[in-house]
Amino acid sequence: MKIFITLIVSMLMLSGCASTGSSQGQVDRITPEQLAKILPPPVATVTLDEIVVDSKQGKTADEIIAKIKASNSRYELTPTQTLDLSKQDVDIKVLDYMHKSNELAKQNAIADELNKREQDKRVAQKQLQRERALAQSYYNDYYDGPFYNPYYNYGYNPYWGSHFFWAPSFYYRQHR
């Protein structure tokens, strides 16, 4: 029994030593200043007082929401403001729309920024791939290739003479 326990403990220790730590990808963090620049500021062309007046005049929630949509207003309401508007008989549908439209605008702004960053990242990766391909495509021998040899890829090479078969220039590079 001692041998069995010793064997299990030693296997556990070996398996712990053999495993590698999980490597996390680098996360680009957005500072609060960057977030403030990304998020669009709330613009309320229809004031809260106008919404309260419209509610007290008996306009329906759909009419008030249509007025807010037409003016393209957006509100950053605190919980206290929401409670005050609710106490002043503003319909819950209107308050929900105000909150949802603000959150949707924030999400769209952040998604646009993330898409822009991802696009910039893809462009940088493509540029890097082009640079690598260009670095790999330079010829080792200046006197072999389309820039020097007028008979490049035509079955003639000054090092080998003429041939009866057509062979691309990489054939000659491999058989020198």
The pair of three-digit structure tokens given for residue 92, joined into one six-digit string = 């819950």
The tens place of each residue's pLDDT in the chain, 176 residues long, gives 667 677 677 776 766 655 555 566 677 777 888 878 888 888 888 989 999 999 999 999 999 999 999 998 899 999 999 999 999 989 999 999 999 999 999 899 889 988 999 999 999 999 999 888 777 665 444 455 555 555 555 544 555 555 444 445 555 455 54
Query: For residue 169, which phi and psi values (nearest 5 degrees)?
Result: -65, -25
Residue extents of the structural domains in the chain? 32-137, 142-176
Closest alpha carbon to 98 in 38, 32, 50: 50
The per-residue pLDDT for 101 is 92
Contacts of range 89-98, beta carbons closer than 8 Å, 24 or more positions apart: 89/52, 89/55, 89/56, 90/51, 90/52, 90/55, 90/64, 91/55, 91/60, 91/61, 91/64, 92/61, 93/61, 93/62, 93/65, 94/51, 94/55, 94/61, 94/64, 94/65, 94/68, 97/65, 97/68, 98/68
Length of the chain in terms of residues written: 176
N-to-C CA span, the chain:
69
Cβ–Cβ < 8 Å for 173, 143: no
